[in-house]
Structure 1
Amino acid sequence: MMLSGLDHLLAAGLVVAVPLCGSWSQRVLERATAEGRPDARMRDYHLTMLTLWSLAGLTLLLWGSAGRPGSLLGLMFSDGMRVLIGAGATVLALLVLVSQWHGISRLDDAGREQLAAQVGSVLQLLPQTSREYRTFQALAVTAGICEEVLYRGFLLWYAAVFFGVWPAVILTALVFGVAHLYQGVAGVVKSAVVGLLFGALYAATDSLLWPILIHTAVDLQAGAIGWALRGARRGAV
């Protein structure tokens, strides 16, 4: 598969520029919240959505201009056994999320405070008001679609040209983890593991739509957890 200079540039941006921009954005958010700016999270959510949709749109434009089929990017459901694998993995992931939420929803005040401590600094990224929560839901859908197109769709394909599919799954998982450097070391490790699972699912099913569904559900639940813990967060301030 012939790669263009724009392919190399986009890959370099995902590997280098995105982690740096994420860390910068996190520092800006921390300063703004420390100054008591009520619009800090909303501005961060909007900027993140604009960035992700712009990068995903650029990727799709690049893909189409190169005459590459959408199926090569995984933007379709596969057939046969691969559909069963994708559907089964998605249902299992959703059941795990439902089980986790059931446990969280039954926590008492002490349990919520303990969970808030475990979430750590990431908690300040999560919504505190109903307006922020609604916007975060849009952000979760954005991340579920755009990050999968960028990392599992484009970047995995790009890396597979050089290293093969399964080494590319591992490499892109590491890059995805580093892209979440703003969440700290724990966030990097967690994101890398999640990226590895999403990449393996994509490689096994040839469809990006299953990882998109699960990724969106995971991020939606993260927002719901942040909303549920808002009382514990205020108590810690």
Structure 2
Amino acid sequence: MEIVFIGSGNIASHLAKAFHANGNIIRQIYSRTLAHAQTLARDVNAAPTDSLKHLVPDADLYIIAVADDAIPSVIRQLPKTLKGIVVHTSGATSLDILQEFQHFGVIYPPQSINKHIDTDFSKISFGVEANTEENLRLLFNTLKSIAPKTFACNSQQRLALHVAAVIANNFSNALFQMAYDILQHEQLDFELLKPIILETAHKVQYHPPYETQTGPARRGDYKVIDKHLEFLSQQPEERKIYQLLTDFIIKRYQK
């Protein structure tokens, strides 16, 4: 398959290299900054460009791998006569944003990807969506060659997956930082929490999170909860978050 990448950042870098290693031809790499396009293009034997008007018109697949807020601008500049399937990689952007093209779809990985850190696509699930069954089949088979856990989904499922990924990844990381700050304030090392963090992550690999919930809110231990809230009385934002999550857990397990 001949592929054009529109973008040279985190996901574009990993996908381009994976597809190239799997025998696909990477025709072009586009970036607003030519030097960035050139860097990735050298790795995958592709032609670099900083002009969307100069994209080859006859590739099999065009992958828009840019920030969500840049997708509409890129689409406006793309020739609508592109012959291949045009896809974006966003979890929260509509499939219909691409409807001016004849063939279009979405390939979305619910994963935080950094081009400077190795990524094993064999462990990542890609949600695939397309405007026709034939395009879905082509995208599914193309992705499955590098990411065996690829699955078909609709827009609502993809958005749900994106929301869930933000909660599980971004929100949990923010809570890790909150815990880090609390410990630092008392001259305690964050290393003390790493075993329980790893244990929690390990348990949800094998059990539904509902079954593995522990803690004072799960037990309905209001004396401990009150002590925690008093401890956080000088940190109103952290106290509010603690109270909201505590209330959420209590209501969930009182049903």
TM range (shorter): under 0.3
TM-score (norm: length of structure 2): 0.23
Higher relative contact order (CA 8 A, sep 6+): 1
TM-score (norm: length of structure 1): 0.25
Please identify which structure carries the higher helix content.
1
